[in-house]
């Protein structure tokens, strides 16, 4: 028996969903603890569609920590991954110290195997779902009693946006004010079931890796943009309140306007960064115009675009307006000058990578 125990492998698997912010996180006040300059809010894309699947295991027979991402060994030595490992091990150690019968998993090496179920072609940043799944899987492996909000503080240190993926549906990240980051965590605004007919489609403009990473881009914005101060002091706090209210009231028109305005404001601060950062391109602007045309034709706001640190658009709409929104893109974008049919086709394929 002791020999068997020696090589015993403990394992837990989980998934975490991709989230797309409608009030954007952009700026760090503490890069080491990954504390943001403003709160943010996102819609978590369906549990059943775009997500990262992660298995965490540990064993005395493992000689070192290892991370395999989409089939390839990745570096575990980075401070983000190390912070997550360290904090989760410390919580496990607390449990072991309080119950001597528990196996000392906190002293064993970890093996993390992670893969995304969405095509790389969707061009989605995977760090949010990735770190959320990593933290959740290790927390499950260690049987930690901490709540998702508590765990979100650890995921935040992996990647800021990851803290919001600990929840499904509509979730926010409160920036907090404590210097140690103890109140900078995610909370649920509403579960997906509260407003279940929300849909999102992704318009794939480019599957290429973004030119300027979020991490370095936002640091340059904080340093050089004068528009940025206004955004974090006035604009975002007011929008956070309005957005939570719009979600509570299931008021799509307000949700949509705030979403589009906040995406515009975020990209304006990118343009105001010196030297400027361009995440949106001509094709992204064509998608903005297409959404405007769709809304004009409907006589009300039925669609809302938002862009992260890249050119791809995510368009939110309600299921009841599906025909007015999703079906219109190919036609509208193919009409736009500079678009080729093939591109229109790709957009429609992107649209099919739909989240519900
Ligand atoms: C534009 O969470 O990728 O998607 O904390 O440095 O890992 P790090 O940044 P990251 O930034 C995401 C920026 C964004 C907006 C958002 O998701 O809120």
The pLDDT of 109-127, averaged and rounded, is 80
Nearest CA to ligand 1 atom 4: 308
* pLDDT tens by residue, 269-308: 999 999 999 999 998 999 999 999 999 999 999 999 999 9
Give the pLDDT mean for 20-29.
Answer: 98
CA of 161 to the centre of ligand 1 (A): 5
pLDDT exceeds cutoff 60 at 164 = yes
Q: How far is C-alpha 332 from the chain's CA centre?
A: 28
More confident residue, 280 or 5: 280
- Residue-wise pLDDT for 52-88, tens only, equals 999 999 999 999 999 999 999 999 999 999 999 999 9
CB distance 214 to ligand 1 below 6 Å: yes
Which residues are CB-neighbours of 242 under 8 A, at least 6 positions away?
Answer: 254, 258
Pocket test for ligand 1, best of 23, 25, 44 (most atoms within 8 A of CB): 25
**Exposure string over 176-193, b if 16+ CB within 10 A, otherwise e:** beeeebeebbbbbbbebe
Residue 176 DSSP SS3 = coil
Q: How far, in Å, CA of 100 to CA of 3, rounded?
A: 20
**pLDDT tier for residue 120 given thresholds of 50, 70 and 90:** low
User: Tell me, what's the pLDDT at 117?
Assistant: 83
Q: Would the pLDDT of 99 be above 90?
A: yes
Give the integer Cα–Cα distance in Å for 117 and 87.
27
Residue with more model confidence, 179 or 345:
179
Residue 263, pLDDT above cutoff 50: yes
Question: Using CA atoms, how far apart are residues 245 and 239, in angstroms rounded to an integer?
Answer: 10
Read off the pLDDT of each residue in 197-222 and give the average, rounded to a whole number: 85
Q: Is the CB of 81 under 6 A from ligand 1?
A: no
ipTM metric: 0.99
- Phi, psi (rounded to 5 degrees) for 253: -60, -45
* CA quadruple 124, 309, 56, 99: dihedral, nearest 10: -140
Q: How far is the CA of 8 from the centre of ligand 1 (A)?
A: 38
pLDDT of residue 46: 66
Q: Taking each helix axis from N to C terminus, what angle separates 214-224 and 252-271, rounded to the nearest 10 degrees? A: 70
Q: How confident is the model at residue 330 (pLDDT cuts 50, 70, 90)?
A: low
User: What pLDDT score was predicted for residue 340?
Assistant: 34
Q: 46 in ligand 1 pocket by Cβ < 6 Å?
A: no
């Amino acid at each position: 028996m002791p020999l068997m125990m020696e090589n015993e492998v403990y394992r837990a698997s989980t998934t975490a969903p991709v989230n797309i912010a409608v009030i954007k996180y952009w700026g760090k006040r503490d890069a080491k603890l990954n504390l943001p300059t403003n709160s943010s809010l996102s819609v978590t894309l369906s549990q059943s569609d775009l997500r990262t699947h992660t298995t965490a295991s540990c064993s005395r027979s493992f000689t070192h920590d290892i991370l395999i991402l989409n089939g390839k060994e990745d570096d575990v030595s980075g401070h983000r991954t190390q912070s997550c490992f360290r904090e989760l091990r410390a919580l496990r150690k607390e449990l072991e110290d309080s119950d001597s019968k528990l196996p000392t998993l906190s002293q064993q090496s970890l093996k993390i195997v992670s893969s995304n179920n969405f095509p790389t072609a969707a061009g989605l940043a995977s760090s949010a779902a990735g770190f959320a799944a990593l933290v959740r899987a290790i927390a499950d492996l260690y049987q930690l009693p901490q709540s998702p909000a508590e765990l979100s503080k650890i995921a935040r240190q992996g990647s800021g946006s990851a803290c919001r993926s600990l929840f499904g549906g509509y979730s926010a990240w409160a920036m907090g004010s404590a210097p140690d980051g103890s109140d900078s965590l995610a909370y649920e605004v509403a579960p997906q079931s509260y407003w279940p007919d929300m849909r999102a489609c992704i318009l794939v403009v480019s599957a290429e890796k973004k030119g300027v990473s979020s991490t370095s881009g936002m640091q340059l914005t904080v340093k050089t943009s004068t528009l940025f101060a206004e955004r974090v002091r006035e604009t975002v706090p007011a929008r956070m309140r309005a957005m939570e209210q719009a979600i509570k009231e299931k008021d799509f028109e307000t949700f949509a306007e705030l979403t589009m305005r906040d995406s515009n404001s975020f990209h304006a601060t990118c343009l105001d960064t010196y030297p400027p950062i361009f995440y949106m391109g001509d094709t992204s602007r064509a998608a903005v115009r297409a959404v405007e045309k769709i809304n004009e034709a409907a006589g009300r706001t039925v669609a809302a675009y938002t862009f992260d640190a890249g050119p791809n658009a995510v368009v939110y709409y309600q299921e009841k307006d599906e025909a007015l929104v999703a079906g219109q893109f190919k036609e509208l974008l193919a009409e736009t000058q500079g678009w080729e049919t093939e591109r229109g086709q790709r957009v429609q394929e992107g649209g099919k990578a739909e989240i519900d």
